[in-house]
Amino acid sequence: MKNGFKLMLILSFSFLLILSPANAGRTTEYNPSLPKVVILTTGGTVSMKYNPASGGAVSAVSGKDLIAAVPGLDKIANIETVDFCNIYSSQMTPDIWRNLSAKVQEILERSDVQGVIVTHGTDTMAEGAFFLETTLQSEKPVVFVGAMRTGSDLSPDGPANIYNAVLQVCSPQAKVWGVTVTMNQFINRARHVRKDETTNVQTFNSGEHGYLGYIVEGQVIPFNNVLIKKKLPLPDYFPDVPLITTYAGDDGKFIRYAVDRGVKGLLIEGVGAGNVNKNVFRAIKYALSKKVPVVVASRVRHGGLYPLYGDEGGGSSLINMGAYLAGDLSPCKARLLLMIALAQLDMTSEKLKIIFTP
């Protein structure tokens, strides 16, 4: 009887060890001298392989599978994986990013965690990283990585990107960078990074703002530490904020239609340094008269937005009328920021002005 009781205790203790958070998702042999890095997977090309039946790449591997394809990680960190979701990033939504941000914040609050790596599809990675930069309260490093080539391709880039991301999280340099997108050895800050290539491994860059750093031969080399971070609490919901692109001859009907349908804000993709034509200007004036906040971004990749022109539709006239310019943010990121801002209970026009001032 005593021996049977002892056996039950041993089995129960072993079962608890298996279920304990310290062991859940662990993929490398624990080394107390190394930091702990959590790799959270959301899907994307990095987790795909070619499927003959579908004639294309499909989701095929878990977080543990990804880590198994990256030799040497156990020499630089204790790795823990969390399979958050497994979808194409073209299917990402602000609600998914909100849940992702909450999960990453929960992980970062653990004292044993150095930082988090998020594997993510590249199509909307820049926006996802910016969402987390805006809503995360922890200052620990978070690195978004992915791949442009699947695991079935001749030379997959995912393993090297994951390895470099772990190096970055463990580097002292990463402590001041917050959320980054790190691909093909280049480190981009979440605010400025954009995907500029559809098929090449050198797909992300930060334009004239420059890279934060570069990773080579196991070293993180910093280039730039100038950071602008606008932090807002994680919202409970997202107001309806469409992104409307203007074009030559635009009469503003889509703006008026959106306003009449009850949208809570508008992101207008204009031209140049923040300009629209006269008809669009008048449609924006209509939106503002209905108490709908309007932010104007630009289709132009570089240079930012400035109130240069005072005629109808110029940036200066838009600001004087009560609209906001998106500064150095892309239209998609400016829309996300406006959605997060409008979800705050205490948001005012003056606070919006500060939020959209670089």
Residues annotated catalytic, as ranges: 45
Is the separation of the CB atoms in 143 and 107 below 8 Å? Answer: no
325 bridge partner residues:
296
Q: How many CB atoms lie within 10 A of CB 315?
A: 23
Burial class (CB in 10 A: 0-12, 13-18, 19+), 249: exposed
Of the CA atoms within 13 Å of residue 219, those in its CB half-sphere come to: 5
Q: Could you write out the DSSP letters of every residue in 174-199? A: GGGT-EEEEETTEEEETTT-EE--SS
Q: How many CB atoms lie within 10 A of CB 346?
A: 5
Distances (CA, A) of 135 to 36, 51, 57, 229, 337: 23, 37, 32, 10, 10
Distance, in Å, from the CA atom of 346 to the CA atom of 343, rounded to the nearest integer, reads 9
Distance, in Å, from the CA atom of 265 to the CA atom of 347, rounded to the nearest integer, reads 13
3-state secondary structure of 81: strand
Is the separation of the CB atoms in 347 and 286 below 8 Å? Answer: no
Tokens 């990675």 belong to 125
The encoded tokens of residue 196 equal 């500029």
Q: How many CB atoms lie within 10 A of CB 168?
A: 24
Give the H or E element holding residue 98.
helix 94-108
First to last CA, the chain: 73
Tokens 């904020």 belong to 241
